[in-house]
Structure 1
Amino acid sequence: MKLSGFFTLIIVLISFHSMAQTNVMIRAKAKDAKFIGTSVGGAKILVRDALTKELLAEGVTSGSTGNTEKIMKEPKARYQDLSENNTAGYLAKLDIKSPTFIEVEAYAPIHKRQAIVKSTTQLWVIPGKDIMGDGVVLEIPGFIIDILSPQTHERIPGGVSTEIKANIVMMCGCPVEEGGLWNASNFQIKAVVEAEGFFKEVALQQTEKSSTFSGNIDLSKGNYTITVYAFDPKTGNSGVDKTNIIIN
């Protein structure tokens, strides 16, 4: 092969490879809230060939939760992106050589195992045809709930009122508070305390700290399971955390 022909072949192969790499922006968005990004550890993204299950790309969304005014308050026009340059997302770079039917999985929020939700979708991707802007958006319903007290397996003296305290935020980490954009007054926030032959619900009220709710209950000797839940009757968003304690 002549040297000029060799270089021509290299150029053709490089051009083909660059055309085969296809960029797909993938985002995870909390239901009735904002995008899931760095502030809560992000969403784990997996991109597979939907037919063969071959893993084509994986990563974690990073960036900000986005523009609150644009996402939550302003009317959205057709084709208008909710995201901006710094809005959380993961850019999947797919090396495909023919139209490929892919499956996208999002697990979020990745660092909160008691709250994690899997959301999936499928779509065709064409080589060289990038999907950018908002890109592929997967909705993540629910609340993140962390029981702050009592601690797991904590032994509490009988005859002392037990405080149940929990931190509750949207799946993007956005605050839940009385009178706020995510108004706690619109949600049902309760603790369910159970033991053999015992069942009681305790309404939790916001403390002086944003997204922190508490309530008190008097318990006799025994082993108890405490379940804290939040439920939004308008959207169906719900979240749960559990712990177990011992009353001496």
Structure 2
Amino acid sequence: MKLFKTIRFLCLIFLLISPEILSAQETSIMIRVKAKDAKFIGSSMGGSRIIVKEHVSGRILAEGYTSGSTGNTDRIMKDPISRNIQLSDDQTAGFIAKLSIEKPVFVTVSAYAPIDNSVKSETQLWLIPGKDITGDGLILEIPGFKIDVLSPQLHESIGADNEIEIRANIIMMCGCPLTDGGVWNSNQYEVEALIYKDKKLENTIPMQITDKASTFLGKGKLSPGNYEIAVYAYDPVTGNTGLGKTSFIVN
């Protein structure tokens, strides 16, 4: 009798379980984020934040960060690329989203990078139950340069008699360095500081690479006032652009 009750109870539980849960299949999608004209964004840049949402409801199905290396430089940047050639390897940064779905679902995949989540890249696709997307997976591209103005420092006060040194660290969005004659050749890029005084453009100062990788320098004299500097990098070959800002006082 006890066995009969147990079986009857299990049958009842089985009937109450949603058919959707019974038929749901785990489906994996590899999501990678690649810097424009460069490599993959991974652990060295804090990863790229990934959010996978069901398009219609907006419900979050998976979220996390890419982790791993930026990938193989020769394979990504130097070797000829033909159809079905995989850019990534087992160490290359990515995020695996594992979803339990019982029917095809149309999703929106968003990537935010680099570490300060300053740029968003987004795409949409159908996911089919049990049909994994592996290998290179889904690759989203993040354009731009990551630019940090090192000097003048924010809100720094500088004497009018002093020559202003404008220094900026400029890297690709994956963290790859700019160097003289390197893979990311600093001579290919136009780098300038736009000098704004009281919100009006007063001058532009060209900036050149220093002996230190990714560090650019420009110099000039400024009259007393409140200033904002916008350092930009522009690649005339790819159209890639980036910008970094700081504000300071000359007295």
Aligned partner of 1:237 in structure 2 is 240
Aligned partner of 1:81 in structure 2 is 86
TM-score normalised by L of structure 2: 0.90
1:116-135 CA deviation, whole Å, 9 max, x = no partner?
A: 21111100001111100000
CA distance in 2, matches of 1:185, 1:19: 54
CA distance in 2, matches of 1:74, 1:147: 34
1:92-127 CA deviation, whole Å, 9 max, x = no partner?
A: 011111100011000010x235xx211111000011
CA distance in 2, matches of 1:123, 1:99: 10
The alignment yields a C-alpha RMSD, in angstroms, of: 2.1
Retained in 2: the 8 A contact 1:112–1:144? no
Aligned partner of 1:93 in structure 2 is 98
Aligned partner of 1:61 in structure 2 is 66
Q: CA deviation at 1:190?
A: 0.6
Aligned partner of 2:213 in structure 1 is 210
CA distance in 2, matches of 1:27, 1:198: 39
Alignment of 1:122-201 (within 5 A): 122-196=124-198, 199-201=202-204
Q: CA deviation at 1:19?
A: 5.8
Q: CA deviation at 1:3?
A: 4.8
The one-letter code of the counterpart of 1:92 is A
Q: CA deviation at 1:181?
A: 0.6
CA distance in 2, matches of 1:236, 1:55: 34
Q: Which runs of 5+ in 1 are unaligned?
A: none
Percent pairwise identity: 52
Aligned partner of 2:32 in structure 1 is 27
In structure 2, the residue corresponding to 1:128 is in which secondary structure? coil
In structure 2, the residue corresponding to 1:72 is in which secondary structure? helix
Q: Which runs of 5+ in 2 are unaligned?
A: none
TM-score normalised by L of structure 1: 0.91
State the number of aligned residues. Answer: 241
Q: CA deviation at 1:6?
A: 5.2
Q: CA deviation at 1:4?
A: 11
CA distance in 1, matches of 2:34, 2:193: 27
Retained in 2: the 8 A contact 1:168–1:175? yes
CA distance in 1, matches of 2:196, 2:165: 15
Over 2 Å off, 4+ runs:
1-7, 16-19
Aligned partner of 1:120 in structure 2 is 122
In structure 2, the residue corresponding to 1:39 is in which secondary structure? helix
Out of 196, 210, 227, the residue aligned to residue 224 of structure 1 is 227
Matched, 1:71 2:76: yes
CA distance in 2, matches of 1:46, 1:184: 34
CA distance in 2, matches of 1:182, 1:201: 24
